[in-house]
Amino acid sequence: MADVVHHHQAQRVPRQYIMALLDALPHAVVPMGFASLSRGAGRDRAFVRGLCRGDSAQSMCLVDLQDAVRKLSGMCASSRSVEACYDKCYISYADTNDQSIYEGRIGQIIYDAGKVVDPISYDRAYYALMSRLVARAASGGRNRSARMSMFAMGEAVYSRDDPTGTMYGLVQCMRDCSDAESQ
């Protein structure tokens, strides 16, 4: 599992709220691949969100989320917000429900610059591919099952002369965001 964890500032929300929500999160996420939970009131309120990759089976979703919760439970104990991205799932918690201030940072262009023959073609193909995938995922995938909604994968060739000249992309939007927010 590749871990990308971001955490921010000292915690305001009681730790027991976050721990209870994290414990409940994997089973809440599994049926539809997404859940958003909260506990507490006013300034003492905690929010957690979990998301499994749209192509992840329910059994793997549960295992991945339980592993992620186990890892997060021992980390970032004093943080007021945490987001963790693993190979097949994403978890966040915060003392605010405004996820827009945290999201958007977990997204990367990953390639070995020494092996990309034509970086300009690569970038052009990447942005075209991601634009298509974002549009498809943000449209909600209304003809797909709920687990696959707001999820898109695809590929693009950036160099026909290069045996490794094909790139692959994956985009998934949070299901509690509108199509416009997902763009």
Q: Which domains does the chain have, with CATH numbers?
A: 4-101 (3.30.430.20), 119-182 (no CATH)
Query: Cα 108 vs. chain centroid, distance in angstroms?
Result: 12
What radius of gyration do the chain's Cα atoms show?
Answer: 18
Beta-carbon contacts of residue 77 (< 8 Å; ≥ 6 apart): 11, 15
- pLDDT tens-digit map of 118-177: 888 988 999 999 999 988 888 865 544 565 677 888 999 998 888 888 888 888 877 666
What is the chain's percent helix, strand, coil content, to nearest 5? 35, 30, 40
Residue 145, by phi and psi: left (phi above 0), alpha (psi -120 to 50) or beta?
Answer: beta
Ranked by mean pLDDT, which of 92-101, 108-117, 130-139 comes out on top? 130-139
